[in-house]
Amino acid sequence: MKEKRDISHQHVTGRVAGRGTEVKSGKSRRAAAKKAATKSGGSKSKTTAGDGGSLRLRLMLGREIAMGPGKADLLDGIAATGSISAAGRRLGMSYKRAWLLVDTMNRCFAAPLVVGESGGKAGGGAALTALGKEVLQRFRRMQVMTAKACAADLKALQGKLRKG
């Protein structure tokens, strides 16, 4: 029988308080994420209507990003793989970076979105809690509604951007 445990405040070797901590350079991580998104049929992270300009939805708690497109992609990956490290690899990030994002989400919400599971043949993994599933579903719905509500204005603004 698997035992669920709260992983929101476990210690990670290295700099834990790292807002902006990147293991890979931003450019190579973005390239890996883009490649992974292309393989999986596209990313849900950005709303675009052409070559320039994009719209990103973020839920903030103070200065922390409680939920954003990247964190939602990470939650999707955890739900699909049952593993923080596997979900991070799918997005081109290290386990440490993925764990820091999970830790931030777990601290920002009233209850954890992701819990660790110990036991079993594979030695455990990670799973979304009921709250994690609800937050992910609501955030994805908000992304769709935002994209629809802003599509015409976004297209108009994109037409006014410099070509680059």
Q: pLDDT tens across 41-94, in order?
A: 444 445 544 457 889 999 999 999 999 999 999 999 999 999 999 999 999 999
Task: Please tell me whether residue 114 adopts helix, strand or coil conformation.
Answer: strand
Annotate 134-157 with three-state secondary structure.
Answer: HHHHHHHHHHHHHHHHHHHHHHHH
Distance, CA of 38 to CA of 73 (rounded, Å): 13
- pLDDT reported for residue 163: 84
Q: Are 71 and 100 in contact (CB under 8 A)?
A: no
User: What is each CA distance from 110 to 66, 99, 134, 146, in whole angstroms?
Assistant: 11, 18, 13, 25
The type of residue at 74 is: L
- Mean pLDDT for 119-141 is 90
Domains of the chain with bracketed CATH: 27-39+57-158 (1.10.10.10)
- pLDDT reported for residue 105: 98
| pTM of this structure | 0.70
